[in-house]
Copies of this chain bind each other. A is one copy, B any other.
């Protein structure tokens, strides 16, 4: 049995993006913002994603400019950090995930929260002007909001796309309603590391 299928990577990309643009309602966005949503759809295979996407008006420009100026990309999960395509980054930006730091387990016990949320504390000194990317843990997104309440420096933009059933939707609503930092969220339960990394990859480069 032989299968007939497209083997050229660039042709697969070209057709994929054409299908996405022909089937999705992308009218709320243009330019970089549109590119971000298209790439998130590409990562999840779902053309109905736009109905759950919410983005502040300043998100795309702020996130893009931050990356161009060398801002670090602070990720809540290793799968997110791993999904960021290094060759697309405009300024050899650092991609950071603090989850494996030896201080995290003790810090989590001390703060009474998840390891992922505790790891955010280790970002504090790099937060100013950064791109924060939460693709896994709602607790990390809630913790970020608490840190901002406590006077932590502001990131340039926050991609808040945790996935799941407990706290995910609530944490994303809280980020969007907070309004202090440029944000991108996917309302509801959907999200995850692949979508989050895809958003970073779209902000990083216009190449499709």
Chain A residues in contact with chain B, CB under 8 A? 1-3, 5-9, 12, 15-16, 19-20, 42-46, 78-79, 82-83, 112-115, 117, 138-139, 142, 145-146, 149, 163-168, 170-171, 174, 178, 188-194, 197
Contacts and interface: CB of A to CB of B under 8 A. Distances in A.
A143 B178 CA distance: 48
A192 B19 contact: no
The A interface is mostly helix, strand or loop, or mixed, namely: helix
A46 B44 CA distance: 12
Given A15-B165, A114-B7, A45 B192 contact: yes
27 contacts: A1-B178, A2-B149, A3-B142, A3-B145, A3-B170, A3-B174, A5-B138, A5-B171, A6-B139, A7-B114, A7-B117, A7-B139, A9-B115, A12-B114, A12-B166, A15-B166, A16-B164, A16-B166, A42-B164, A44-B190, A45-B168, A45-B190, A45-B191, A46-B189, A78-B82, A79-B79, A79-B82
Nearest to A145: B3
